[in-house]
Structures are given as structure tokens and as C-alpha cells.
Amino acid sequence: MGYQIWNRRYTGSKYKLSDWITNLITNNCQGSSFCDIFAGTGIISYSILNKVTSLIINDFLYSNEIIYKAFFDNKPYNIEKLENIKSLYNKINIQSISDNYCSQWYGNKFFSYNDAKIIGYIRENIDFLSTEINEKERNILIASLLYSADKVANTVGHYDAYIKGKDIIDRFVFDLIIPYDTKDKNIIISRCDANNLAKNLKCDIVYIDPPYNSRQYSRFYHVLENLACWEKPQLYGEALKPTPINMSEYCRSNAVIAFNDLIESLNCHYIVVSYNNTYKSKSSSSKNKLALEEIQAILNYKGSLQIFEKPHQYFNTGKTTFSNHKEFIFIVKVGD
């Protein structure tokens, strides 16, 4: 079987919209180099892969950077070696391994105790294998662990909280992600602040899908970030989060300033922006920091603007109700 890049739960994922977005890009933009500057799940990078020769994939989360390298890096790896390691991981005797960082913090909370114990053991073992595996193989194993853990996590799809008041059954199975063939592509993967990257970027098409509300992704996905980095920090609060790091300006009150700076800095022929109209949400964390009219005004200064829209059901945790929800795609031909 194996995991494809979209086989994860992720707030704001464009998986269901990816065909629509990709068709809009190919029908309204020209060029062979593409930058996915807030790549998130990486689904748009995957969808556009066969239509470009050069691809820049950027996100500021450590876990996403590892996932992109696992799927897209055109470095060599030995699939038979990885399959053997997978087989060993799925034969782990829970009684033979010790309690660990993951089981101590996340056991019977984000995962069953036994699942957390196995997840922690595997993550520790991947680092132990550092002399036996290359960089690509290491990234594949860590990404595979993130996907396998996310599949059994005791959450509603993010890690802002775990589900309480129910027995958590053991159901963890380690499976590998399926890397993509990119040997004929120029792939650049980065973990940068998008605004800083924009100042030194030159490509044909830039796709922009920033966070629009106060939900900080480094906090929403702190468990996966923790597993990716494996620095074992002290955790705090009911949701067991580390000290805040990697916070986005797009989730704060100066999001409009940040977005304007980003657009002004871009050196490209086409700008494509995704936007969903959640700013009338009743939930304060869901309210957009950028309004549609503000985005439109900023983009209009950059060139000729086209706007496309599509009805779309957006992620919410049950506190938010609003009608006529849509996804908007703005396409700017720069300089026109």
C-alpha cells in the first residue's frame, strides 16, 4: 500500500481542490518554474509536478520539510533496505522495549500507551541507524512515521487537543510513504520564512496559500513537529505543547502588512493566491486576519487580476457555522 502525500489530516488541505487549482494555473499561467511558497501538505506541488521542470517547495514547519524531502528529493535510496526496516518495526514486541519520551508524554493521550511507546522507540531507532542509512532514507523513515502516527492519533485532525473520555485502542502500523520520481526535475526544498524567501526568489509562477486566521500551525501540529525534530523538550499545559517557536505573522494582527510585503517582493510572471472566506466565522480563532477586499486591493497593484471561485466545505471543529462558503483563486499577470 504505502502513503501518498495527501494521506494525512491537515487543516486547510487543498487535496479536494487540487485538480481545480492546477487546471486554473495551467490554463491561465505560462512558465516552467513554480514556487509553492506556503506548501502545507505539498499537494499543489505534487499536482503541478508533471507540468513544470523546476519546483521550489517551501514551508516553515520542520515536519513538512522532512515530508517534502522524503517525497520529492531526487536523491538515491534503497527500497529493499527500507522494506526490511519496516518489517522489523512491525514485529516489535511491546514487552521488550522500555518506556520512552513519547510514551511518557503522549501515552493514553494523543495515542494509546503502547502505540506511543512503539512510536517513540521507532523514532529513537531511526537516529540510531544513522550510519546505515543515507539522508533520503532517513527522511523517508521519519516521514513514514509521521504519517503512520497521524493515522492513529487520538485527535479530530490536529493536535490542539486530544479526545478525552474514551478508551484508546492499540492500532499503530508502520507503513512507508511512496516517494515520487523527480530525477528529471530541478527540485529545491526549503524551510524559510516566506517573506524572506520572496526577496531572493526568481521564477515564473508563485502559488501562495498562507494561513489566514489565528491558528498557528506550529502549535496545531506540535506533536508531529516534536517527532520530526526529536529534541525532547519539556511540554506544558493540557495539550502538552512545547515553548512557542516558529510563529507566523500571518496569524497575527499585522497579517495585511506581511502579505503586502510578500507581494511587493516577488519577482515572477504570475502570482496565484488561494483564499477561503472564513472571516465571518463565529469562532475567534477561525476569523481571517486578511479580508478578501484587502487581498484584491494589494494584488491589483501588481498587475492584471482574475478571480475564480468555487463552493467548498472548510475544516471546522464544530463551533463555526456559516453559509455560502467558497474558495477563491486570484491569478495576477504581473506588470500588465
Query: pLDDT of the chain along its 336 residues, tens only?
Result: 799 999 999 888 899 999 999 999 999 999 999 999 999 999 999 999 999 999 999 999 999 999 999 999 999 999 999 999 999 999 999 999 999 999 999 999 999 999 999 999 999 999 999 999 999 999 999 999 999 999 999 998 889 999 998 899 999 999 999 999 999 999 999 999 999 999 999 999 999 998 765 566 777 899 999 999 999 999 999 989 888 666 666 666 688 898 999 999 999 999 999 988 654 544 444 455 678 899 999 999 999 999 999 986 654 444 445 456 689 999 999 986
Q: What is the pLDDT of residue 232?
A: 97
Secondary structure E strands in the chain? 33-36, 54-58, 186-190, 203-208, 268-276, 303-311, 326-334
Angstrom distance (rounded) from CA 49 to CA 180: 10
Would you say 242 and 176 are in contact if contact means Cβ atoms under 8 Å apart?
no
Architecture of domain 15-334: 3-Layer(aba) Sandwich (3.40)
DSSP string, 151-207: HH-SSSSSSS----SSPPPP------B-----TTSEEEEE---HHHHHTT--EEEEE
Domain boundaries, the chain: 15-334
Q: What is the pLDDT of residue 311?
A: 83
Query: Do β-strands 326-334 and 268-276 pair in parallel, antiparallel, or remain unpaired?
Result: antiparallel
Q: What is the pLDDT of residue 217?
A: 76
Angstrom distance (rounded) from CA 69 to CA 140: 8
The three three-digit cell numbers of residue 257, written as one number: 502588512
